Structure 1
Amino acid sequence: MRGNRPTRRAVLRQWLALPALPAALALSAASAPGAERRLVPTPACDDREDTTPSQTEGPFHKPDSPMRHEFVPEDAGGQVTLVGLVLTPRCRPVTNALVDIWHADPDGAYDNDGFRFRGHQFTDPDGRYWVRTLRPGLYGSRTRHYHVKIQPEGGPLLTTQLYFPGEARNGDDWLFDPALVMTMAEVGDGELGRFDFVVDV
């Protein structure tokens, strides 16, 4: 039952309370009794991980977005809380990396006049980021996606996109890359997503 699932806020508190490497298991709270399915823990690091694939930024990026974690009010319905790590290829957390996220609104439109569903932040000392937002809508031939830019201090810029599992349009979108699919789970008051970025520094 939905009432037995942990809330996004409770899982986020657990996530932020853990150091970076044990945080690979932080979202197992989504497997509490009544949860429909759990988020799969991040695989253990081997000697060297492949870097996250890059993708086009598209035509709707805007510089100078506000610094924030929350794109929607606390009481907004249908929320997605996205969490993850920024890591080096040797699985060390990247501190103070820029994480810039933007996406279409639920109707598939981008705010090109203001900064709705746009924002940036910097990873914490354990390489973590998080954002509270909504599922983006569909437009044109594109499947559902978030846009992301990651840049370590003094390092190269990664521009990429993140995708939702199980979307009907994934197979028809020529940009879709299964390596960029988020892990998703339902929680008591919305959805929880996870994606870890691996970047050169």
Structure 2
Amino acid sequence: MSELVTPAQTVGPYLSIGLSWDEGPLVVADGAPGAVWLRGEVRDGGGDVVPDALVETWQAGPDGEFHAAGFRGFGRCPTDDDGRYAIRTLKPGAVGGRAPHIDVTVFARGLLHRLVTRVYFADEPAANEADPVLAAVPAGRRATLLAERSGDGYRFDITLQGPDETVFFAA
């Protein structure tokens, strides 16, 4: 007799129900000194955009502290129909001997668990070189963790699978 097996439940595509809110992408107020946008796209292994992902960020403030007036340190943004997300925040400071970085979680359809990664900043080469977490990533893969300066902030694209897959860490 064969057994009937129920497939595992994924984390999407219903992320917009109860998980998004209007202020989610706004870690700091409009006009906050030093405010920058962290923007990017989420793509699947075939290179197609993921229009129903959710990107969450956690970070320290520019002083390396996690609690500051007017700075929540947490952002959440669903991707749009073109797979884009945008979070207005402040560039973080160094924390505990690590380079400035933002912790990122990605939720998307087809995933059984959230994916966890980090955003480092390409314009912080000395700090990045000394960062123990970034140093543990194979040199040829580190570029997938670097946000590049662009216009009014930084660009950080996330690729879920394939040859250009973003480095993800155990949660």
TM-score (normalizing by structure 2) = 0.69
Q: Distance in 2 between matches of 1:104 and 1:73?
A: 16
Shift, 1:74, TM fit: 0.8
CA RMSD, Structure 1 to Structure 2 (Å) = 2.2
2:84 corresponding residue in structure 1:
128
**3-state secondary structure, aligned to 1:108:** coil
**Cα distance change of structure 1 residues 91 and 198 upon mapping to structure 2, 3 Å threshold:** same
* Greater C-alpha Rg: 2
Asked if 1:184 corresponds to 2:149, the answer is yes
2:26 corresponding residue in structure 1:
70
Q: Distance in 2 between matches of 1:75 and 1:96?
A: 29
Identity %: 36
Shift, 1:170, TM fit: 0.8
Asked if 1:193 corresponds to 2:151, the answer is no
Q: Aligned match of 2:131 in 173, 176, 183?
A: 173
1:47 corresponding residue in structure 2:
none
1:138 corresponding residue in structure 2:
94
Asked if 1:86 corresponds to 2:5, the answer is no
Structure 1, unmatched stretches of 5+, are 1-63
Q: Distance in 2 between matches of 1:86 and 1:65?
A: 18
Structure 1 segments of 4 or more deviating over 6 A?
Answer: none
**3-state secondary structure, aligned to 2:88:** strand
**3-state secondary structure, aligned to 2:27:** coil
**3-state secondary structure, aligned to 2:144:** helix
2:61 corresponding residue in structure 1:
105
**Cα distance change of structure 1 residues 99 and 70 upon mapping to structure 2, 3 Å threshold:** same
Asked if 1:95 corresponds to 2:30, the answer is no
1:52 corresponding residue in structure 2:
none
1:19 corresponding residue in structure 2:
none
Asked if 1:153 corresponds to 2:109, the answer is yes
Residues 66 and 118, structure 1, Cα contact 8 Å, conserved in 2: no
Q: Provide, for residues 133-180 of structure 1, a one-character-per-residue CA deviation record: whole Å limited to 9, x for no partner.
A: 101111211000011001112414210001011312111111123331
**3-state secondary structure, aligned to 1:175:** helix
Q: Distance in 2 between matches of 1:65 and 1:102?
A: 16
Q: Distance in 2 between matches of 1:84 and 1:92?
A: 14
**Cα distance change of structure 1 residues 138 and 118 upon mapping to structure 2, 3 Å threshold:** same
Q: Distance in 1 between matches of 2:48 and 2:108?
A: 12
Give 1:183's aligned amino acid.
E
**3-state secondary structure, aligned to 1:91:** coil
1:33 corresponding residue in structure 2:
none
Q: Distance in 2 between matches of 1:97 and 1:87?
A: 9
2:119 corresponding residue in structure 1:
162
